[in-house]
Amino acid sequence: MKNKYIFGGLIIVIFLGLMVYLFTQSNIQYESNFAVVMAKDKIVKATGSWVKEKNYEINKENKTFSFYLQDEHGNIMKVVYNGTIPNNFESAKSVVVTGRYENGYFHAKDILTKCPSKYEGENVKTSGL
């Protein structure tokens, strides 16, 4: 009987620990000013646009993908991602990277590309009723 209470208590402690961890992870802030991103020592979601003039690099040995982002203030930041290039990266309107800035570049854990809508720029005709 005593083992049931210990097991139940252990499950509750694990569940509460998981909830606290998930709550603290969802507290990541979006930042569109790279000067602020570079000054922070915590995980952020940085938003910017890919600097096409600087191209991107794929390092197959280290399995990294690197590129440069520019914020709305003109600040440019190098981003290194441990993974492959996202499918729609080249057509992306903007890019959101999640990670931390350290050692002179942004270490991305995740990349989200925002592509232009297929409905953008279409002229919508309305009937004149």
Whether 120 shows a pLDDT value over 80: the answer reads: no
Tens of pLDDT, residue by residue over 13-43, are: 999 988 887 776 656 778 889 999 999 888 8
Tens of pLDDT, residue by residue over 35-82, are: 999 998 888 999 999 999 998 999 999 899 999 999 999 999 999 999
d(CA 116, CA 21): 34
Q: Are 47 and 108 in contact (CB under 8 A)?
A: no
Tens of pLDDT, residue by residue over 60-73, are: 998 999 999 999 99
d(CA 56, CA 68): 7
Architecture of the domain defined by 28-114 = Beta Barrel (2.40)
**Any idea where the domains of the chain sit in the sequence?**
28-114
